[in-house]
Amino acid sequence: MVLVLCCAGVPFIGSAQVPLTQDQLIIDATDEPSTPPRGRGPFPGSASPGHSPGLPIRLELRIPDGRLRSDGAVRVDFLITNVGTERLTLPVSVDCRREATDILTLWFSSDAIKDQYLIDQQTGRPVKLEMVPINAQLCGRGNDPQTFHVLNPNETIRVHASSPEINPGTHAFTGHAELLRIARRTSEVAGIADAEPVTKTLSPR
C-alpha cells in the first residue's frame, strides 16, 4: 500500500490522484483484486439510512457518471464520515490477499444489478444465483499500522469502486457497509451502516 500527499495535504491511496476537500483520504479500489460475492443471506443491509453503535459513520453513495462502460459497469464512490465524538480506526488497504484482522466491506443494493445465472447440469435450465456483488473490501492487519487510518470526528474517506454489470435506465441505489473483526479464526460483525437511497439514470456509452 502506497500513501502519498497530493493537492493541499490530501492523502491518497491508489493509482490516480483526484483533488477533493482538504484532509480527505481518497482510496482507489477500482482495480483491487476481485472479491467473491456474498453468499445468500442473512447479511446486513437496510433501505433506511443509519448505523449501528459499533460503526458511527454517515455513509453516502455517489455515482459521478451516468454512462455505462463497455462492460456494463459504472464507477461508484462511497463517502465515509465519522459522525461520532471519538476518533475511529478503519482498515484502508486494498490488498486483502494476506490474512486480515479487520475488513470493511462496501456494496450497494439495487434492482438495476443484472441477474446472474448458471446452468443446472441435471436439467440444462438456467438457475438464478442469489448473490450480493461486493464493490470494495478494505483490509487491515493488526501487525501493520499502515493498513489502518484514524478518522477524526467529521472527517471523510472517499472510496472509488466499480459496480457489477448494471441495466440501463432510472434506478434507485442504496449503499451499505459492514466492519468485520477477525481473531483466532473467528469473525464478528463490529458494525454496519446504510446510506440514503439515491436515484440515477444510466445510459449505454
Q: What is the mean pLDDT of residues 72-98?
A: 93
Confidence of residue 130 (pLDDT cuts 50, 70, 90): low
Which backbone phi and psi does 103 adopt, to 5 degrees? -135, 125
For residue 55, give the nearest of 198, 196, 188, 197 by alpha carbon. Answer: 188
Q: Does the pLDDT value for residue 127 go beyond 90?
A: no
Residues 147-167 have pLDDT tens digits of: 999 999 999 999 999 999 999
Q: Provide the residue range defining the domain that includes 122.
A: 4-204
When divided into structural domains, the chain yields a total of: 1
Residue with cell string 482510496 = 27
Rg (C-alpha) for the chain, rounded Å, is 17
183 or 86: which leads in pLDDT: 86
Residue with cell string 456494496 = 107
Residues 2-37 have pLDDT tens digits of: 333 334 444 545 433 344 444 479 999 987 655 545
Question: How far apart, in whole angstroms, are the C-alpha atoms of residue 102 and residue 132?
Answer: 20
Question: How far apart, in whole angstroms, are the C-alpha atoms of residue 144 and residue 107?
Answer: 25
Q: What is the pLDDT of residue 75?
A: 93
Q: Give the number of other CB atoms < 10 A from CB of residue 67.
A: 10
CB contact set of 83 (below 8 Å; sequence gap of 6+):
51, 56, 57, 58, 153, 154
C-alpha grid cell, residue 25: 483520504
Q: What is the pLDDT of residue 183?
A: 86
> Do 1 and 132 form a contact (C-beta atoms < 8 A)?
no
Which backbone phi and psi does 156 adopt, to 5 degrees? -130, 145
Q: What is the pLDDT of residue 9?
A: 45
Residue with cell string 486494498 = 94
Residue with cell string 492487519 = 141
DSSP 3-state of 181 = strand
Q: Give the number of other CB atoms < 10 A from CB of residue 154.
A: 11
Q: What is the mean pLDDT of residues 91-110?
A: 91
